[in-house]
Every structure is written in C-alpha cells, then in structure tokens.
Chain A
C-alpha cells in the first residue's frame, strides 16, 4: 500500500511548479490565439502536456486521485457542447455560426467577437480530452501481467 509511485521527490517538486507554468502557458496561448500564433487547439494540447508531466512524475495512481477520468470526459463533452452552443447562438443573430458579437478593436484581447470564446471552448475540450486519454492509457495494464 505504501509502495512509492512516480519519481523522486525532487522531480515531484519541480513537476509541481512546472505543471502550473505549463498550464498557464497553455491558457495564455489559447486566449491570445486571435492576436498571435497559437490558438485553442495548441493551448489545449499544452494543457494536456501538463497532465502528462503530472502522470509521469507522480505515477498514474496518484494522478487519478487528483483528476478523475470521468471528470475529463465531462469537461471534454462540455467544451464540445460549448463550442456547439456558440454556433447555435448564431441563430439569435439569424444564422448558424453567425459571429454576431462586435468585432471590437483589432489587436486587443477583447476583439474578434466570439473568437476568444471559441478558443476557450476548444482549449477546455482538447485539454480535458487528451488528459483523459493519457490517464486511461497510463492506468491501462496488459491483462496477462495481472495473472
């Protein structure tokens, strides 16, 4: 029960710090997607990379206590649903996928109408989805080894 999982204490502590930075960077990349290179998808993958680091450093058991796979599913679906909802909101303005928000001042964070929102939805979707796959894969053991 007390079997040590994951890597050494140094790695774990560094990983704790770095994971936070990576996650913040992923969110930053996604939110500034309409201004600079990047976008929701790249941000989401970076977010998932933070989860990968966590799984590698702490082992799958400890990570799964922190983040449950079912939560990943739910957030994954919620992100997708959010993006679809943005699309359907277009009907308020008259048509599917209508970007009816004002474009705003090009170059500022709040510009591009719904583009930042879409990026956010994709960030949540991709990040949660890929993190979930990693958790599932890290927990997967060949059944023959259990015998």
Chain B
C-alpha cells in the first residue's frame, strides 16, 4: 500500500514533467509546474505521517504522550513555506503569460519564438 502511494506520487511528478516538456500551450505548461509542486508537497506530508498519528497540536496531554503519538510537524512547516512559494510563482507565471499573450496574441509556444533558442 505504502509503496503504491509513493510510486503514484513520483508518477505525478513525472506527469508534470511530461506536461512541461511535451505541451506547447503556456497554460498547460503552468499546469505542469503546478502538478510537480503538488506532488512534491504531498511527498513531504507523506514522509512525515505516522500510522495512527494525531495532529501536531498539543491539546491537554503531557509532552511525552503527545510526542509519542503526533505526526511530524517539521515537514508540515516546510510544506507551508513551499505552498507560499508556489503561490508566488503562480502569480508571476500568470502575469508573464498574460503579457506574452498581449505581445504575441497566442498561448502557443511554437508561435512565441522570436529568440533563436
């Protein structure tokens, strides 16, 4: 079960990569980036989970009981940061794509090719 979950997460990363490389539409490329982002964030949450764990918010129990049963807070803090980075990137990508559309009148990367590559 666990192996299947991990493998699907990696497959999601590869799907994102495929989208970025094979698709020629700016929106699709942005979606590919988003897929990679989701997958990596998910992997972080997955590696911090422990079977039967509780949320890392201490209610009233003693620190020892809490620590023995809670999931790992560090990956969650990392994902929080990573989600923020993702949002910033989405904003920037959307702005760039809108400007590119304004300049070229298309989302097709084949037509957006003034540079010699």
A–B contact, 8 Å CB criterion (strictly below): yes
Residues in chain A within 8 A of chain B (CB atoms)? 36-37, 39, 41, 45, 106, 126, 130, 133, 137, 140, 142-144
From B84, B95, B102, A143 is in contact (CB under 8 Å) with B102
Query: Whole-angstrom distance from the CB of B14 to the nearest CB of chain A?
Result: 29
Q: Is the CB of B80 within 8 A of A39?
A: yes
Q: How distant is the Cα of A140 from the Cα of B55 in the complex, in angstroms?
A: 43
CB distance from A145 to the nearest CB of B (A): 9
* Given A36-B57, A39-B80, A41-B84: A144 in contact with B102 (beta carbons within 8 A): yes
The answer on a CB contact under 8 Å between A140 and B80 is no
A144 near B105 with CB under 8 A, answer yes
Q: Is A45 in contact with B105, judged by CB distance below 8 angstroms?
A: no
User: Which chain A residues lie closer than 8 Å to B89 at the CB level?
Assistant: none
User: Contacts A39-B80, A41-B80, A41-B84: A140 and B57 contacting too (C-beta < 8 A)?
Assistant: no
Within 8 A of A (CB), among B80-98: 80, 84, 87, 91, 94-95, 98
Known: A137-B94, A137-B95, A142-B101. 4 other contacts (CB 8 A): A39-B80, A41-B84, A130-B87, A133-B95
Taking the nearest CB of chain B, how far is it from the CB of A104, in angstroms? 15
Query: Which residues of B does A touch, CB under 8 Å?
Result: 55, 57-58, 80, 84, 87, 91, 94-95, 98, 101-102, 105
Q: Which residues of B contact A137 (CB under 8 A)?
A: 94-95, 98
A-B contact count (CB 8 A): 23
| Cα distance A49–B12 in the bound complex, in angstroms | 29
Whether the pair B84, A140 counts as a contact (CB closer than 8 A) is no
With a cutoff of 8 Å between Cβ atoms, the chain B residues found around residue A130 in the complex are 87, 91
Measured CB to CB, the nearest residue on chain A to B92 is A133
> In the bound complex, do residue B101 and residue A37 qualify as a contact, i.e. CB atoms below 8 Å apart?
no
Across the interface, B102 reaches (CB within 8 A) one of A39, A45, A133, A142, namely A142
Minimum Cβ distance to chain B for residue A36 (Å): 7
A45, A106, A143: which contacts B87 (Cβ < 8 A)?
A: A45
Are B57 and A133 interface neighbours, CB within 8 A?
A: no
Which partner residue on chain A sits nearest B80 by CB separation? A41
Complex: A130 Cα to B101 Cα, angstroms: 22
B98 close to A140 (CB less than 8 A): yes
Closest chain B residue to A34, Cβ basis: B57
Can you list 11 A-B contacts with CB-CB less than 8 angstroms, sorted by A residue number?
A37-B55, A39-B80, A41-B84, A45-B87, A106-B58, A126-B84, A133-B91, A137-B95, A142-B98, A142-B101, A144-B105
